[in-house]
Structure 1
Amino acid sequence: MTDDERRAIEADCGRLIALYANLNDEARWDEAAALYAPDGLMTRPTAPDAPIVGREAILAAFKARPPRTTRHVCSNVVIEVESAREARGTSAMLLFTGAPAPLVGSFHDRFVRTEEGWRFAERRGTLLFQT
């Protein structure tokens, strides 16, 4: 793998993290769920021990949420390329919901290249503390 190929994978996976945050904040659930591989796994930072498996189940979980206004701020994104088809990543997350204090946590991701492009194979959220 060339340096340019590695950087392209890092950029594609980093973009996936940012796109996910934006789609989530805009309640564009179908598009957010489509960022997962068909057999992808998601755990919310508020429920790290309750995995949701499969794109359809993830979509149903998104749609079951009560309406709310949010803003996810993701930073400190680091992508580790494992191969031309797999990568891992971590990112810090700050979630504003209109509550008195934001939620502070992180995501630990596994990415896989599919026919649709790079997708989340696994997205595990953890909550570190509330400020």
Structure 2
Amino acid sequence: MNLAQRRAIEAECARLPTAYAVFIDFRRFDELCDLFTEGAVLNLDGWPLEGREAIRTYMHSRPKTRTTRHAVSNILIEVQDETRAIGTTYVTSYRFDAADEKPRNRIPFDGPFFMGNYQDEYICQDGVWRFAGRKIDAVFMRPAAYDVWNEILR
């Protein structure tokens, strides 16, 4: 593989974390699920969702009253070969859970909900790069969010 091919793979794979962030934040869940292979695993800090349909079901169950923004950075793609790559992406997540579905132009917040990183596995099938696996590790959390997260994972 030459340098131009490696750079092209890196660019294709680096697009996926950004697309994931935009699609989840704007509730474009079907497009988000298309970023994954059929058998992909999305591991939410110890809670694995196995397969595209499990991911789709989870995404569509997210509360309509939840507003999020996922800021991704420090995207490092390591090409393994012409069809496989791995990557690390930092994520800072902001979240607001409203008590109602009233539209809001501005939302108060106390800072990030959490900061952490994704460990990604990418695969190219039929010329299209997708997530084969995505694992999120929450590293920093606000104390109130930490308590909620621990209850969810029990």
TM-score scaled to structure 1, two decimals?
0.93
Q: How does 1:44-123 map to 2 (within 5 A)?
A: 44=44, 48-67=45-64, 68-98=66-96, 99-102=109-112, 103-115=114-126, 117-123=128-134
CA distance in 1, matches of 2:2, 2:20: 27
SS in 1 for 2:47: strand
TM-score scaled to structure 2, two decimals?
0.80
Could you list the runs of 5+ residues in structure 2 that have no partner in the other structure?
97-108, 143-154
Bigger RCO (CA 8 Å, 6+ sep)? 1
Runs of 4 or more, structure 1, over 2 Å off, are 98-101
Q: How does 1:1-40 map to 2 (within 5 A)?
A: 1-40=1-40
Task: Quote how far apart the aligned CAs of 1:65 are.
Answer: 1.2
More strand by share: 1
Structure having the higher Rg = 2
Task: Quote how far apart the aligned CAs of 1:97 are.
Answer: 1.0
How many residue pairs get aligned? The number is 128
Task: State the percentage of identical aligned residues.
Answer: 37
Could you list the runs of 5+ residues in structure 1 that have no partner in the other structure?
none
**CA RMSD after TM alignment:** 1.1
